[in-house]
Amino acid sequence: MNTPEDFSQKKNLKFEIFPEEILALNRETQFHPGLSKILREQPNKDIYILLLEIATYCQVPVVADIYTHQDILNLCSALTKCLYEKRTQVIIPLH
């Protein structure tokens, strides 16, 4: 088991914080049980594969291309917005 002293002795230790766009997308997926199941059962946990799964769930077309870091963050924001809208749609009964 690692102790705080173990970490302090490592000279090349680097902490990386995920961008807010990725964190927001992760939080929003928790409100979608069907999507959560898809992501949980996806054997390949590569972030790009998971983003494609979310895009498919949201019916957002994504083309095979080279994406910059900012492109990925923009995609995360768009997917978060789409998921939020999916769960906040108001259903009005027709009586």
**pTM, entire model:** 0.75
How many whole angstroms separate alpha carbon 61 and alpha carbon 3? 46
pLDDT tens across 54-85, in order?
A: 999 999 998 888 889 999 999 999 999 999 99
pLDDT at 87 > cutoff 90: no
Look up residue 21 and give its two tokens.
């766009």
Q: Which residue's structure tokens are 């077309």?
A: 61
Q: Is the pLDDT assigned to residue 95 strictly greater than 90?
A: no
* Residue 4 pLDDT: 60
24 pLDDT higher than 80? yes
Largest Cα span, the chain:
69
7 alpha-carbon distance from chain centroid: 29
CA–CA separation, 91 vs 13, rounded Å? Answer: 50
Chain centroid to Cα 21, Å, comes to: 8
Q: Is residue 6 pLDDT above 80, yes or no?
A: no
